[in-house]
Structure 1
Amino acid sequence: MAELHFYTGTMDSGKSTLALQTNHNHAARGRVGRIFTSHDRAGQATISSRLGLFHDAEEVVDEFDFWQFVVTTLTQGGRIDYLICDEAQFYTALQIEQLAKIVDELQLDVFCFGILTDFRTRLFPGAARLVELADRMQVLQVEALCWCGKRATHNARTEDGVMVTEGDQVVVGDVEQTGQPPAEVAYEVLCRQHHRRKLTAARAKAVSMAPEPLPFG
């Protein structure tokens, strides 16, 4: 029986890598799949992994209709055995419902990959609907780490190196790289404690070098 799968974790936990590996495993057995993504760090119509892997994909915009796409492809003689849906947190709730319909009515496996919450610790609409509808939900076992060494559970956004908790929900950026200057908009994974304190790696380093004690407010 076909199923709707949802693999989730924080940024930097290997979701896109797993998406590409899942596609490879199924394609190696002769199955034909279609790959989708939205707002990937590498640009439109591309799924990319921080390990350096890339693959062409269909870009999912708000007006995209999964059901219409699949039905049209099948009725025109195309073959689809499964769907790989990366960055699924950016999909609309309606699009997630379309994916569930594809599983139920067309018996195609759908594999979704995405984060649960935004930089404000609020659920993305697409992720929330996946939690409600998925047949299987799995938290990735590759744990991203906060700068303090604890398991990272929250995604933080920084602007010019300063953590922010207000702004548009979707702004494309990437996880900051050690030793490189901060991007205008970047992301960092933190444990809950340091996300609540807005204590990023850069700020922790700065305050540790200052005479004042760490702020615990």
Structure 2
Amino acid sequence: MAELVFFTGPMDCGKSTLALQMHHTQSAHDRVGELFTCHDRSGQAVITSRIGLAAPALEVDADFDFWTTVVDRLHHGARLDYLICDEAQFYTAGQVDDLARIVDDLGIDVFCFGILADFRTELFPGSKRLVELSDRMETLQVQPLCWCGERATHNARTIDGVMVTEGSQVVVGDTELDPDRPVSEVRYEVLCRRHHRQQMNKSVAMATLSPEVLPFDTSQEEL
């Protein structure tokens, strides 16, 4: 029985790494698949992982038709056992509907990978539809950390090191600072809920927080 599975978690939890590992595992068992992505951090039609893994993929723009693409390949004699769909939060609701149809009507497994909510803590349309339609959801077990050491659950957008809460929902960026690009480029950071609510990302915290006072006087001489 084919499935529509949604693997999700905040940024930096290894979604793209798992997508590439899933592709490797499936293909190692003589299954044939196709990779898709949308707005990858590399700016190319490639699934990239921060640990250095990468694989070419088909770019999914707003007009991409999953159903027509898959049916056309099958009609031309191609074999297709599964789809790997990275950055699925950027897909349209209609594209997710087509993925569910591919599972149900063509018996092809679809594995989707993406984050649930944007920098405003609002669900992406693609993720919302996947929550509604997927046969099962899997939360990735790799837990990124906030700068404070707590589990990071929220995605923050920063400009010039300052967290912002307004703007277009989709702006491509990464969590890694690129020394070859202007400092004002959009970056992303994962935070715990408390510090996301307080709009206190790492650079702001380092500039404003003073070291904690120890609960004893270090100036006293030992007796």
TM (normalized to structure 1)? 0.93
Q: Does 1:162 align with 2:162?
A: yes
Partner SS, residue 193 of structure 1:
helix
**1:13-162 to 2 correspondences below 5 Å:** 13-162=13-162
Q: 2:177–2:187: 8 Å Cα contact kept in structure 1?
A: no
Partner of 2:190: 189
- CA shift digits 1:125-180 (9 cap, x unpaired): 00000000000101100001100111101000001111100000000000135999
Q: 2:47 touches 2:56 (CA, 8 Å); kept in 1?
A: yes
Question: CA–CA distance in 2 between the matches of 1:55 and 1:93?
Answer: 25
Deviation at 1:45, TM superposition (A): 1.0
Secondary structure in 1 aligned to 2:55?
A: strand
Which contiguous aligned blocks of 4+ residues in structure 1 show a shift greater than 3 angstroms? Answer: 176-183
% identical equivalent positions: 65
Contact 1:8/1:115 (CA < 8 Å) preserved in 2? yes
Q: Which residue of 1 aligns with 2:6?
A: 6
Give me the whole-angstrom Cα distance separating, in 2, the residues matched to 1:176 and 1:196: 22
Q: Is the Cα contact below 8 Å between 1:176 and 1:183 reproduced in 2? A: no
Q: How many angstroms apart in 1 are the aligned matches of 2:36 and 2:183?
A: 29
Distance 1:182 1:147, change over 3 A: farther
CA–CA distance in structure 2, aligned partners of residues 146 and 3 of structure 1: 33
Paired residue total? 210
Deviation for aligned residue 1:184: 1.4
SS in structure 1 opposite 2:97? helix
Aligned to 1:213: none
Unmatched 5+ residue regions in structure 1?
Answer: 211-217
Q: For residues 194 and 77 of structure 2, what CA distance do their matches in structure 1 show?
A: 53
1:70-96: per-residue Cα shift (whole Å, max 9, x none)?
000000111111000000000000000
Q: Which secondary structure does the structure 2 equivalent of 1:138 belong to?
A: strand
**In 1, distance between residues paired with 2:176 and 2:34?**
30
Cα 1:4–1:194 shift into 2, 3 Å: same
Return the TM-score normalized by structure 2. Answer: 0.91
Cα separation, 2, equivalents of 1:119 and 1:182? 19
Q: In terms of Rg, which structure is larger?
A: 2
Q: Residue 187 of structure 1: SS of its match in structure 2?
A: strand
